[in-house]
Amino acid sequence: MEKLSKLPKLYLVVVFIILYTPIFYLIFYSFNSGGGMSNFESFTFEHYAAVFEDTRLIIILINTIVVALLSALVSTAIGVLGALSIVFMRNKAMRNAVLSLNNILIVSPDVIIGASFLILFTMIGVKLGFASVLISHIAFSIPIVVIMVLPKLQEMSPTLIDAALDLGASKRDVLTRVIIPFIKPGILAGFFLALTYSLDDFAVTFFVTGNGFSTLSVEIYSMARAGITLTINALSGLIFLVTVVLVLGYYAVSRKTKTPLSGVKK
């Protein structure tokens, strides 16, 4: 393989600087004792203290995490069942049709998902708030889990199932002792992606959340519309830390199980 010469290296460095500047800029000013994101006065942790003292913000943070964990858990369960249903479908045309339906929510713009779910919840009478947000997050995470699990299932040799059946395994045994262990990396990847999709979602939540319930993204949006508050900066410092730990953890897990990083998040 040819070596990189100076100019391409410089180009990559510039791209990296541009990609990371906004993030480090936010974190840098989170330590500013002055009020804004210019003129660094002196070093302080007061904005971090403000994050932890703000009970409203803490509640929103907990809401966000609860919604993310619950939606990831439920969507992983339904997604795995969905992937199994697709794989066991014998009609090829039917399978392709279901796959296309599956992918609709992945490519749909969030505005469409948000608006249509808003209509749906209003029609069937789901109160806007925690329930509607959770259901929406489950709904838009399911296709991602399916996409992550399906390749693993397709990789699996049918002879494994035959062997298990020949050796006297029941259908339940085949599922829990043969299929599930085999597709575990896909399930983990799906769960992780569902988690991050939920944590990061703004547009869908913005549509289906009522007055009383808010997630972090929606809260940051309304705070940012009001202007610059360094509490947001402190929050982003904390989020950056957690994200890096999560990503490195995911990287370690996926390297161990040899599944390449196959999805990005918005």
Partner 1 sequence: MRHMGYRIMNNKPLRPLYTIPYTAWILLFVITPIALIIYYSFFDLAGHFTFDNYKNFFSSVYLKLTISSFWYAFLITLFTLLFAYPTAYFLTKTKHKQLWLLLIIIPSWINLLLKTYAFIGLFGLYGPINALLETVGIGNQQILFTDFSFVFVSVYIFIPFMILPIFNSLDKLNPALIDASRDLGANSWTTFRRVIWPLTLNGVKSGIQVVFIPALSLFMITRLIAGNKVITLGTAIEQQFLVTQNWGMGSTIAVFLILFMFIIMLITSSSDRGTTINGKIK
Between residue 21 and residue 80, which ones bind partner 1 under the rule CB under 8 A?
A: 21-23, 25-26, 29, 36-39, 77-79
Contact present, 179 and 154 (Cβ < 8 Å): no
Distance CA 142, CA 135 (A): 11
Closer by beta carbon to partner 1, 44 or else 78: 78
**Span interacting with partner 1, options 46-54, 125-133, 183-191, 204-212, rule CB under 8 A:** 204-212
147 binds partner 1 (CB under 8 A): yes
**58, 122, 218, 226, 245 from 71: Cα distances, Å:** 20, 21, 17, 30, 21
Among positions 6, 56, 90, 258, the unique one binding partner 1 when judged by CB under 8 A: 90
Does 192 interact with partner 1 (rule: CB under 8 A)? Answer: no
Binding of partner 1 by 88 (CB under 8 A): yes
β-sheet bridge partners, residue 32: 43
State the Rg of the chain over Cα: 22
Of 70, 165, 182, 210, which one interacts with partner 1 (CB under 8 A)? Answer: 165
Nearest distance, CB of residue 45 and partner 1, angstroms: 19
Residues 6+ apart with CB under 8 A from 95: 86, 89
Question: With respect to partner 1, which residue has the nearer C-beta, 57 or 139?
Answer: 139
Interaction of residue 115 with partner 1, rule CB under 8 A:
yes
For 2, the token pair is 């040819």
- CB 228 to partner 1: min, Å: 6
113 belongs to the binding site for partner 1 (CB under 8 A): yes
Q: Which of 49, 58, 59, 106 binds partner 1 (CB under 8 A)?
A: 106
Asked if residue 229 lies in contact with residue 34, where contact means CB atoms within 8 angstroms, the answer is no
What is the C-alpha separation between 44 and 22, in angstroms, rounded?
Answer: 20
d(CA 138, CA 136): 5
Per rule CB under 8 A, is residue 4 in the interface with partner 1? yes
Site for partner 1 in 230-249 (CB under 8 A): 232, 235-236, 239-240, 243-244, 246-247
